[in-house]
């Protein structure tokens, strides 16, 4: 598996002129791989549009930070604003794409990412607004959990963050399109077979039969 | 018109059982000095309203009031960064009221702007439905949330003039919204300048919303505080 495969694969979804909000972790990493010549405007929900890399020591601004309160820089032409304006962008349908992590996704495009009853309590933060309002939702995650259990389910078992919103799933093993009728396998990661994906995916893959007849290189 | 007072005088506006809004975002652009004063004053059973808990690891921002056990109820959208707070919520020492971040912000805005409710589609099909009232507008389902107000809002801006006009720099995040939504509004600033020095188009919060101005750390001192925090957590 090539290093940072998921982040590199996410980056292929960036199109010139897009306004994008990236979740923490791997989605944020994908900004390092934005293709040359593609201009992407990154939004951060605490109130910034067109931010850049982290500053050098001694050059940070205590009030210029990302949604994790970590230091960032603003690019020339970038804007800062309050959180009501920020969520008008997000909820109001002005952001073209969001990429987020998840605990589970299912074949109906439902996503669970904010709570494990009795185990994980964080609050939903801005995730529900982003998933509702962004025009395109990509989930980026490992294909299975640390015990090897499928994270792409028939039906999510954990509390939902949003219902029926996911458009694409990018994992370390495959890429799926989530359509109205269910999951379509679009790509396999290097060295992965369709049979392996079927075994590691609980949700029904509608085009898996076609894949059985395709030689994967 | 605003009155300039010391942080020690300002903290007396907050008493046991007060509801207190605290501006900022996970530790960034928060009123550092006033939070220290509230922690030192030891007032308890506070209802604290802020968009999220403090910087990762806890002990910063509202995290200072958490380690002091001063909070009885926390109204927010996110607590994941503060393990101490999560422990107090799980142990039922602190009551938690959650709403999605965009909804939280609009609830505060509604509280300040005299509106009766926030009506939003965000959270439909999730557990959030149980936290609100369902209503239908033009055939479409929405969730209705009540506005949020506080006894006191403690916010952070860059500069103030004696009329209480505030200028922000960087992300103003929740500060200008919270400035509208409390009975008493205390603005902590890096610098207090003469009337006219902040040009009218630079005023982020007009003085009409501000009751008290307090002098916080200078910009340079804040820069040192944040750089130390970021370096210690490998973020700079």
Q: What CATH code is carried by the domain that includes residue A149? A: 3.40.1080.10
How large is the average pLDDT for residues B118-142? 97
Q: Which domain holds residue A128?
A: 5-212
- Put simply, the answer to whether A121 touches B90 (Cβ < 8 Å) is yes
Query: C-alpha angle B69/B72/B77, rounded to 5°?
Result: 105
B116 pLDDT tier (thresholds 50, 70, 90): very high
Which residue, A212, A208, A155, A148, is CA-closest to A184?
A208
Confidence (pLDDT) at A216: 56
The tally of domains found in chain A comes to 1
Residue B23, burial from CB neighbour count under 10 angstroms (0-12, 13-18, 19+): buried
How large is the average pLDDT for residues B115-142? 97
- Alpha carbons B55 and A157: distance in angstroms, whole number: 30
What six digits make up the tokens of B125?
A: 């099909």
Q: Which domain holds residue B192?
A: 3-232
pLDDT digits (tens, 9 = 90+) for A30-56: 999 999 999 999 999 999 999 999 999
How large is the average pLDDT for residues A69-74? 96
Residue A1 has pLDDT above 70, yes or no: no
Domain for residue A122, yes or no?
yes
Query: C-alpha angle A63/A97/A28, rounded to 5°?
Result: 50
The residue annotated as part of the active site, out of A29, A36, A45, A215, is: A45
Confidence (pLDDT) at B1: 80
Is A70 tagged catalytic?
A: no
Residue A2 has pLDDT above 70, yes or no: no
pLDDT digits (tens, 9 = 90+) for B227-236: 999 999 999 9
Helix (H) or strand (E) holding B70: none
Which residue, B126, B132, B129, is CA-closest to B147?
B132
Residue A206 has pLDDT above 80, yes or no: yes
CA distance B231 to chain A (A): 8
pLDDT > 70 in chain A, percent: 97
Confidence (pLDDT) at A210: 84
Confidence (pLDDT) at B33: 98
- Put simply, the answer to whether A82 touches B236 (Cβ < 8 Å) is no
A24 pLDDT tier (thresholds 50, 70, 90): confident
Domain for residue A41, yes or no?
yes
Helix (H) or strand (E) holding A19: strand A19-22
- Picking from B28, B90, B120, the nearest residue to A65 by CB comes out as B28
Per the model's pLDDT, the better-predicted residue between B138 and A1 turns out to be B138
Residue A163 has pLDDT above 90, yes or no: yes
Domain for residue A60, yes or no?
yes
Q: What is the CB neighbour count within 10 angstroms for residue B48?
A: 24
How large is the average pLDDT for residues A177-206? 95
- Alpha carbons A96 and B78: distance in angstroms, whole number: 24
Q: Which residues 120-149 of chain A have a CB within 8 Å of chain B? A: 121-129, 132-133
CATH of the domain at B71: 3.40.1080.10
How large is the average pLDDT for residues B81-106? 97
Helices A83-91/B101-113 angle, 10° precision: 120
Domain for residue A70, yes or no?
yes
Contact A24, A45 (CB under 8 A): no
CA distance B113 to chain A (A): 13
User: Which chain B residue has the Cα nearest residue A65?
Assistant: B28
Confidence (pLDDT) at A67: 93
Residue A217 has pLDDT above 60, yes or no: no
Confidence (pLDDT) at B217: 98
Confidence (pLDDT) at A141: 96
- Alpha carbons B136 and B142: distance in angstroms, whole number: 6
Confidence (pLDDT) at A74: 97
Helix (H) or strand (E) holding A111: strand A111-112
Indicate if the alpha-carbon torsion angle B28, B33, B39, B45 is positive or negative.
Answer: negative
pLDDT digits (tens, 9 = 90+) for B4-41: 999 999 999 999 999 999 999 999 999 999 999 999 99
Helix, strand or coil, per DSSP, at residue B98: strand
Residue by residue, what is the 3-state secondary structure of B144-188?
A: EECCCCEEEEEEEEEEECCCCCEECCCCCECHHHHCCCEEEEEEE
Chain B interface test: which of A49, A82, A116, A121 (most B C-beta within 10 Å): A82
pLDDT digits (tens, 9 = 90+) for A106-143: 999 999 999 999 998 999 999 999 999 999 999 999 99
Domain for residue A12, yes or no?
yes
Can you tell me which residue has the tokens 């959208």? B77
pLDDT digits (tens, 9 = 90+) for A173-190: 999 999 999 999 999 998
- Picking from A60, A84, A122, the nearest residue to B106 by CB comes out as A84
Contact B214, B6 (CB under 8 A): yes
Q: What is the pTM of this model?
A: 0.96
Helix, strand or coil, per DSSP, at residue B33: helix
- Alpha carbons B38 and B15: distance in angstroms, whole number: 9
Confidence (pLDDT) at A130: 98
Residue A3 has pLDDT above 80, yes or no: no
Q: Using a CB-CB distance cutoff of 8 angstroms, which residues of chain B are in contact with residue A81?
A: 171-172
- Put simply, the answer to whether A121 touches B86 (Cβ < 8 Å) is yes
Domain for residue A180, yes or no?
yes
Q: Using a CB-CB distance cutoff of 8 angstroms, which residues of chain B are in contact with residue A55?
A: 236
Cα B43 from chain centroid?
A: 17
A21 pLDDT tier (thresholds 50, 70, 90): very high
Which residues are CB-neighbours of B207 under 8 A, at least 6 positions away? B1, B2, B161, B163, B164, B165, B166
- Alpha carbons B50 and B83: distance in angstroms, whole number: 16
Q: Which residues 191-210 of chain B have a CB within 8 Å of chain A? A: none
Can you tell me which residue has the tokens 């009551």? B95
Residue A100 has pLDDT above 70, yes or no: yes
The tally of domains found in chain B comes to 1
Average predicted confidence (pLDDT) for chain B: 97
- Put simply, the answer to whether A163 touches B90 (Cβ < 8 Å) is no
Q: Which residues 77-136 of chain B have a CB within 8 Å of chain A? A: 77-81, 86, 89-90, 96, 98, 100-103, 105-106, 109, 120-128
Residue A9, burial from CB neighbour count under 10 angstroms (0-12, 13-18, 19+): buried
What six digits make up the tokens of A167?
A: 């458009």
Residue B206 has pLDDT above 80, yes or no: yes
Domain for residue A217, yes or no?
no
- Alpha carbons B152 and B155: distance in angstroms, whole number: 10
Residue A149 has pLDDT above 70, yes or no: yes
Helix, strand or coil, per DSSP, at residue B141: strand
Query: C-alpha angle A31/A37/A40, rounded to 5°?
Result: 40
């Amino acid at each position: 598996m090539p290093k940072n495969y998921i982040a590199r694969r996410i980056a292929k979804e960036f199109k010139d002129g897009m306004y994008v909000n990236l979740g923490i972790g791997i989605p944020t990493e994908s900004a390092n791989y934005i293709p040359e010549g593609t201009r992407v405007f990154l939004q951060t929900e605490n109130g910034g549009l067109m931010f850049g890399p982290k500053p050098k020591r001694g050059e940070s601004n205590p009030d210029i930070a990302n949604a994790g309160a970590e230091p960032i820089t603003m690019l020339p032409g970038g804007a800062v604003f309050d959180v009501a304006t920020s969520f008008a962008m997000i909820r109001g349908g002005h952001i073209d794409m969001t990429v987020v992590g998840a605990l589970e996704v299912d074949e109906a495009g439902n996503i669970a990412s904010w709570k494990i009853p009795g185990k994980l309590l964080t609050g939903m933060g801005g995730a529900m607004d982003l998933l509702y309002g962004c025009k395109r939702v990509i989930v980026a995650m490992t294909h299975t959990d640390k015990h090897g259990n499928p994270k792409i389910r028939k039906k999510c078992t954990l509390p939902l963050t949003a219902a029926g919103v996911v458009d694409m799933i990018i994992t370390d093993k495959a890429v799926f399109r989530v359509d109205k009728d269910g999951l379509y396998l679009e790509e396999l990661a290097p060295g992965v077979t369709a049979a392996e994906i079927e075994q590691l995916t609980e949700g029904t893959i509608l085009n898996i039969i076609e894949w059985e007849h395709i030689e994967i290189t | 018109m605003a009155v300039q007072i010391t942080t020690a005088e300002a903290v007396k506006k907050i008493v046991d059982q007060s509801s207190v809004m605290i501006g900022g975002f996970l530790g960034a652009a928060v009123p550092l000095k006033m939070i220290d004063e509230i922690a030192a004053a030891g007032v308890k059973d506070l209802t604290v309203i802020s968009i999220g808990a403090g910087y990762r690891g806890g002990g910063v921002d509202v995290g200072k009031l958490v380690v002091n056990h001063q909070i009885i109820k926390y109204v927010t959208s996110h607590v994941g960064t503060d393990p101490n707070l999560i422990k107090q919520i799980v142990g039922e020492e602190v009551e938690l009221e959650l709403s999605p971040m965009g909804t939280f912000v609009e609830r505060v805005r509604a509280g300040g702007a005299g509106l009766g409710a926030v009506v939003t589609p965000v959270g439909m099909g999730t557990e959030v439905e149980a936290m609100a009232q369902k209503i239908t507008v033009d055939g479409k389902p929405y969730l209705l949330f009540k506005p949020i107000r506080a006894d006191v809002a403690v916010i952070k801006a860059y500069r103030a003039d004696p009329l209480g006009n505030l200028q922000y720099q960087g992300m103003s995040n929740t500060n200008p919204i919270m400035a509208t939504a409390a009975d008493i509004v205390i603005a902590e600033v890096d610098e207090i300048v003469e009337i006219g020095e902040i040009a009218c188009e630079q005023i982020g919060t007009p003085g009409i919303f501000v009751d008290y101005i307090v002098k916080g750390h200078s910009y340079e001192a804040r820069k040192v505080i944040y750089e130390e925090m970021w370096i210690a957590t490998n973020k700079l």
